[in-house]
Amino acid sequence: MKKAIYPGSFDPITKGHYDIIERSSKVFDEVVIVLMKNPDKKALFTIEERIEMIKQTCANLPNVTVDVGEGLTVHYAKKQNAKVMIRGIRAVQDYEYELRNATANMWLDADVETCFFMAKPEYSFLSSSSVKEIASFGGDVSKFVDPYVITKLKEKFDTKNSK
């Protein structure tokens, strides 16, 4: 069985993330979306909220699951018996960053491969950060995220703006 992991913060999951997940679910028998705990990143949503958004967004993909990991992603992959780490590439900056990480991971564990999925053109400049910024000012993010995520963003920013 070909098992792959797709690590990230998914704060929140976007249609660009979903596109990578859906496409990779057609290539691999099992895809595990891994929310990697990163103490250097300040997340808008809790781990539990992000898990729920991913589950809601990916409910139609039976071979996709969600988990939480910490530490080095390549070590998580090894523990889970996953031979592939999925990474999405939007632009040149992503490629340079991901190439450095993939090279480091090869040194750490040559048995775990990194598989790059190119973003579709309509998602090539989409990021969770831009979605959060647009939503924080009441902008329409319906082209960028699932309806459930829109609800969660509104709840989060209505709470923040009412303080």
Q: Is 125 annotated as a binding residue?
A: yes
Q: pLDDT value at position 161?
A: 59
Q: Is 100 annotated as a binding residue?
A: no
Token pair recorded at residue 5: 């992991």
With cut-offs at 50, 70 and 90, classify the pLDDT of residue 142. Answer: very high
Taking 80 as the threshold, does the pLDDT of residue 159 lie above it?
A: no
Q: Mind listing the pLDDT tens digit for each residue in 54-110?
A: 999 999 999 999 999 999 999 999 999 999 999 999 988 888 899 999 999 999 999
Q: Is 24 annotated as a binding residue?
A: no
Q: pLDDT value at position 153?
A: 96
Q: Is 127 annotated as a binding residue?
A: yes
Is there a catalytic annotation at residue 41? yes
Q: pLDDT value at position 38?
A: 78
Is there a catalytic annotation at residue 90? yes
Exactly one of 15, 50, 90, 132 is catalytic; which is it? 90
Is there a catalytic annotation at residue 128? yes
With cut-offs at 50, 70 and 90, classify the pLDDT of residue 1. Answer: low
Q: Exposed e or buried b for every residue in 22-61, given b needs 16+ CB within 10 A? A: bebbeebebbbbbbbeeeeeebbbeeebbbbbbeebbeeb
CATH number of 3-124: 3.40.50.620
With cut-offs at 50, 70 and 90, classify the pLDDT of residue 158. Answer: confident
CB 21 within 8 A of CB 61: yes
Q: Mind listing the pLDDT tens digit for each residue in 12-61?
A: 999 999 999 999 999 999 999 999 887 787 899 999 999 999 999 999 99
Cβ-proximal residues to 6 (8 Å cutoff; 6+ apart), any chain: 20, 21, 24, 31, 32, 33, 34, 85, 86, 87
Exactly one of 26, 41, 42, 143 is catalytic; which is it? 41
Helices (H), 28-46: none
